[in-house]
Structure 1
Amino acid sequence: MDEVRRKGLEKMNEVYGWEMPNVEGDPYFDLTVDHLFGSIWSRPGLSMRDKRIMTLTAVTAVGSRDLAEIQINAALLNGELTEDELKEMAVFLTHYLGFPLGSAFNGAVDTVVRRRKKAAAKGAEEDKKANVESALKLHAGETRE
């Protein structure tokens, strides 16, 4: 594994809060790891929390609930945002993006919190496995079933 890939995977793991596998031979995954995480998420100047809030705002604005759920989960997992802060973001974003998108974000927060509580009752390993599978599907361009 070259230095660019190693740096990108390390940042991707930090951003998501779990261990992503290195997927070889997938051009889209290569671009995601090497450029998005190796270059963009690794730039100085903004904190991880700042980047998370911006990412949550952007994916909410374009109506991507799947990506919002991954980012919400990671924000909670990494201690960047609390459930209360995420709920407050939903209220705030609703007034700038409109009710349908704000409501979808609020629902995504509820879904992730409910899923995390259920996983905590079962054990964290199942939650990690589900998170990795979801992220791999999304980065491959697949959508929720």
Structure 2
Amino acid sequence: MTMLTPEDRTARGLATEAEVTARTANEPSTLLEESWRDFVYAEVWSRPGLPRRPRFLVAIATAVTCNFEDSRIDDFVRGALVGKHISLAELREAALHLAVYAGWGNGGRLDRSVSRVAAELGLPPAEVPPIRAEAWDPEVRSRNGHNEFDKVMTFPPGPPNTPYLEGINNFVFGEMWCRRGLDEASRRWITLVGVCESGAEIPIRSHIHAAMASGNCQPEEMLEFVLQYGTHAGWPKASRMQMVILEMIEKVKKGLPWHG
């Protein structure tokens, strides 16, 4: 991280906060608020290793799942929209995607934030296609889910022989991942936050591996993701991700699967 004079660090932090939140930066009045300005904004958000779009996706998803106050979620949503890093339609898709990986309650928190900020900015409603516009053959839905899983996860799924696995095959991959209103790489960043927050071993390891094996996320970006995630979720959670990412970088480099 680049060392700056205290004056330059403060100036960079205030300027970056104003850009990221699309509002006038707040002058800190507590030590914690100073750390937002002098570290989170001045040092983390200004790093070049991860573009702004994925930083916004990670920050938004983590702010929601870590129960940040609504105003902080709104700040990131506003900054993403005003800076044209993520469109309103894409944020609606992001709320649906987050619902799958962090629960519909968290997806709803993001959806409501998007509605508040869209109203604040006077934006017209986003045009997004419905989940399913017309009836279709259940076998086609299942086959689509199987194929999408194989592409996204970079390995074939097992048979959907329980209600939970049917839900994964038929909705998560058969309908949601198939939607083209949000690109696959963006879905990866939201997914990574969701699985990291879950603490579940298999999803963490398999999705981190797939993010890189698919080519959607580069190893250097994944290492930056850990820092961005850590500032919002905390260093202990991020340390776990750091270890798994380092392991999976080597596995992907050698062409090995995520397990074994």
> TM-score band, normalised by the shorter chain?
0.7 to 0.9
| Paired position in structure 1 for 2:181 | 45
Question: Is contact 2:213–2:252 with CA below 8 Å preserved after alignment?
Answer: no
Which residue identity does 1:11 align to in structure 2? E
- Tell me how far 1:18 sits from its aligned partner: 2.1
1:14 aligns with 2:151: yes
Please give the alpha-carbon distance, in whole angstroms, between the structure 2 residues aligned to 1:56 and 1:48.
12
| Paired position in structure 2 for 1:60 | 196
Please give the alpha-carbon distance, in whole angstroms, between the structure 2 residues aligned to 1:49 and 1:79.
9
- Cα distance per residue 1:18-69 (max 9 Å; x no partner): 2234x15322211110011111111221110000000001111233343122
Q: What is the correspondence of 1:94-109 to structure 2 with a 5 Å cutoff?
A: 94-109=230-245
> Greater shift after overlay, 12-21 or 76-85?
12-21
Please give the alpha-carbon distance, in whole angstroms, between the structure 1 residues aligned to 2:201 and 2:250.
15
Identity of aligned residues (%): 21
Q: Over the residues paired in the alignment, what is the CA RMSD in angstroms?
A: 2.1
- Tell me how far 1:115 sits from its aligned partner: 3.2
Q: What is the correspondence of 1:1-145 to structure 2 with a 5 Å cutoff?
A: 2-21=139-158, 23-117=159-253, 120=254, 124=255, 127-128=256-257, 131=259
- Tell me how far 1:98 sits from its aligned partner: 0.3
Q: Higher helix proportion, which one?
A: 1
Question: Is contact 1:65–1:105 with CA below 8 Å preserved after alignment?
Answer: no
Which secondary structure state, in structure 1, belongs to the residue aligned with residue 230 of structure 2?
A: helix
> Greater shift after overlay, 85-94 or 61-70?
61-70
Structure 1 segments of 4+ aligned residues over 6 angstroms from their partners = none
> What is the count of residue pairs matched by the alignment?
123
- Cα distance per residue 1:91-133 (max 9 Å; x no partner): 111100001111111111012123334xx2xxx4xx34x65xx
> Greater shift after overlay, 60-69 or 88-97?
60-69
With the length of structure 2 as denominator, give the TM-score of the two structures. Answer: 0.44
Which secondary structure state, in structure 2, belongs to the residue aligned with residue 42 of structure 1?
A: coil
Which secondary structure state, in structure 2, belongs to the residue aligned with residue 104 of structure 1?
A: helix
Q: Which has the larger radius of gyration?
A: 2
Unaligned 5+ runs, structure 2: 1-137
Question: Is contact 2:145–2:169 with CA below 8 Å preserved after alignment?
Answer: yes
Unaligned 5+ runs, structure 1: 135-145
Please give the alpha-carbon distance, in whole angstroms, between the structure 1 residues aligned to 2:171 and 2:148.
11
Which secondary structure state, in structure 2, belongs to the residue aligned with residue 2 of structure 1?
A: helix
